[in-house]
Every structure is written in structure tokens, then in C-alpha cells.
Amino acid sequence: MVAMTLLVYSQKFNNMEIFIQSAAQISIQNPLCEDWFENPIIPTLPYNRSIEPDYKQFISPIASRRMGKLIKRAIATSLSALKQAEIQELDAIITGTGLGCVENTEKFLSAMVKEGEEFLQPTFFMQSTHNTISSQVALFLKCNGYNCTYSHRGTSFESALSDAFIQMKLGKIKNALVSGQDEMTPDYFNMLGKIGYWKNEISTDILRNSNTNGSFAGECSAAITLATEPKEQSLCKLQDIELLYKPSKERMQQAITNLMEQANISSIDAIMLGLSGDKKNDDIYKEFAQTFFADKPICWYKNIFGESFTAPSFGVYTAATCLKRGIVPQHLCYNGQNIQDIRTILVYNHFQNKDHSLILLSKC
């Protein structure tokens, strides 16, 4: 009986196609648009906050008064992505966040230190948890479907994406809103600075040729919609996703081979890596590229979006946008010239060389 169920699942699993229908971002680039594709803002400072859009077009001032910055960003990117995808009935909201609403957490804890436990404001308490983001988006959209939050530090977004992918492959949901959400408060930035997370000076050349550890901070709100039926506006096909923990070279090779075989893809056009100028991390990416894709173009995205726990969501977002447009612009090419007529991209991310993820995307 179990074997039969697995067989049925396996058959369903193989046949269902999944498409990234739309995507929207609020980051250190101009928000809710794709200006970054042609005219990116090149960061020069180690600490960068997101550029905020006018939230009044999404949320009334009365409704937004209790929302922290991250919640507003999450709602704005979610609404924007859903509108582009023309999804009316949403089956699932799945969020990845490394820190959750850390700004409100700080306010709540600071008040506790300053005032004791007697005068704690309920709003900061309610909105200091990680799953507030997903639940606030659901309340706003009046979505009673599946709602889940993954808080797995540097692989939070991939975990959320993997959940959506598996549920869609099993036929449990037909569409999903998946997002990566993280904010960087001054205090948290300073704390990470003390353990060597940031460089003092930032430029593309410094990041590309770095021999030192540390990168620069960004903030992340990237929402994508997934669906099992393609539309004209679909960005790309999400072929497969694999999460690995401390894989050996053989295990990584096997995972790459399996992804390509499952997708019936014989060659990858480019790899999208989380290169950030942090030597310790970048060495892992360079070794990955050298070992498995020595002759392939390397793309990067953290040079314009910065580092955060859910920055890999920008990797998927930029790769999907590049596939839709069929080109990788020069500023996203880590080595070589811009890439034309691109059809497949493998997004690879690792967190502290422990958690690794492979996400295979192809043109629709």
C-alpha cells in the first residue's frame, strides 16, 4: 500500500511543471521595478537600507500604523507579485526569513530593559515573532490557505521554496506565494560588524578581487509567485530544487546530475552564485564553479543587492528575470561579457559551507 502510494506520488511528482509567474522586490535597488537590470545602483557603503516605495498605494495609513517596515515591504512585494501573476485565489503563503521582524524585537527587548515588564507595548510583542510576516500577509490578503514560515538562517528562502515545490509536485497546491524577508537594523549591523561581516569600503572591483573577509549589508524583500499552469507573463520554469547538508564532492556531483536528468537538460548556460566579496565564502563558490562548471559563465547578484540571510531569493529573482529577457546584463556577469540567448541557469547558494542549495531554472 505504501509502495503504491509512493509510486502514485512519484508519477505525479515527475509530470507536474512549475512556473515562476512573477516576482517583485524591495531592496537597496529602486523598489518594485526592474531598474536594477539596466541601471543598477552601485553600493559604496557597507550599510545600506532598502529604498521604500510609497506604501499608501498598497495599505491605508490606518491599516499600516501597526506594521513595522518589514511587514509593509512584505505586503507591497506580495501584492505586486500577485497582481502581475493575476492570481485571484492563493493556495499557500510560504515565507523564508533569517531574523523575522528584528526591528520590533529590538524595540520590545529595549523597552523591557528600560521599563521592566510592566509597560510593554502589545504591538511590538505581537510583531516581534518570525511568523508575523507570513500571517500579516495572509490577514491582509484574507488567505486561509497553507501558511508557513522557515527560519533557517542563510537557507531560509530555499527551504520555503522547497516546501512550495514539493507541495505543488504532490498536487496539494496549484499556486503559492514564496518570499524572502529580512531587515538589517543599525544595532544588528554593528553586532555583525564586530565578528567581521562587513568591509569598510565597497566597490565592484573590491568585491570582485577581494582577498579579505566581509561584504556589505543589504535588506531583502523578494516575493515570487509559483503556479502549475504557464501564462504569457511567466518568467521561467522552476525545474528542481535540492537542499544538501555538508555534501561531499561526489554527493554534489550526483545532485547536479540528478537535477539535470530529471529536467531532461543536457547543459547549463550559466551558474548564478552568491559571491559577495567575502573571501571565506567566495572561495567555496569558486571551488564549486571550478569543480563542476569550469567552462561556464558565472553570474552574481549580491554585488547589487548586498548580503542578508535571505539574499538567495534575489539570486532566484535575478536569474528568473534574466531568463525571461534572455540575457544576463554585464553587471551581473562575474567573469566575461554579458550572456545572450540564455536558456538555463543553476542557482547555487551555500551558508557557511554547511547548508547548500541548488535551484535549476529554465526558459519557458
Here the cell at position 153 is 538562517
User: Judged by CB under 8 A, does residue 65 bind another protein?
Assistant: yes
Report, in Å, the least distance between residue 61 CB and another protein: 5
Judge residue 75's burial from the number of C-beta atoms within 10 Å of its C-beta, 0-12 exposed, 13-18 middle, 19 or more buried: buried
Strand, coil or helix: what is 19?
Answer: strand
HSE toward the beta carbon, residue 111, CA cutoff 13 A: 16
DSSP run (H or E) holding 62: helix 61-64
Considering only the stretches 17-25, 60-68, 271-279, 341-349, report the one whose residues sit in contact with another protein under the rule CB under 8 A.
Answer: 60-68
**Angle in degrees, CA 259, 10, 172, rounded to 5:** 100
Which residues in 112-151 contact another protein (CB under 8 A)? 115, 118-123, 126
Instruction: State which residue, 126 or 206, has the beta carbon closest to another protein.
Output: 126
Q: Which of 64, 131, 203, 228 binds another protein (CB under 8 A)?
A: 64
The whole-angstrom distance between residue 180's C-alpha and the CA centroid of its chain comes to 5
Instruction: State which residue, 118 or 205, has the beta carbon closest to another protein.
Output: 118
Instruction: Write the DSSP assignment of 264-295 as a string of letters.
Output: T----SEEEE---S-HHHHHHHHHHHHHH-TT
- The residue whose grid cell reads 510576516 is 133
214: left (phi over 0), alpha (psi -120 to 50) or beta: left
Report, in Å, the least distance between residue 74 CB and another protein: 18
Instruction: State which residue, 52 or 261, has the beta carbon closest to another protein.
Output: 52
- The rounded distance, in Å, linking the Cα atoms of 191 and 277 is 19
Report, in Å, the least distance between residue 252 CB and another protein: 48
Q: Which of 11, 45, 66, 258 binds another protein (CB under 8 A)?
A: 66
- The residue whose grid cell reads 493575476 is 86
User: Judged by CB under 8 A, does residue 62 bind another protein?
Assistant: yes
Instruction: State which residue, 61 or 245, has the beta carbon closest to another protein.
Output: 61
Report, in Å, the least distance between residue 177 CB and another protein: 25
Instruction: State which residue, 63 or 263, has the beta carbon closest to another protein.
Output: 63
User: Judged by CB under 8 A, does residue 246 bind another protein?
Assistant: no
Report, in Å, the least distance between residue 188 CB and another protein: 22
Which whole-number Å values give the CA distances from 237 to 39, 165, 240, 311, in the listed order? 26, 12, 9, 20
Report, in Å, the least distance between residue 354 CB and another protein: 40
Residues contributing to the site for another protein (CB under 8 A): 61-62, 64-66, 115, 118-123, 126
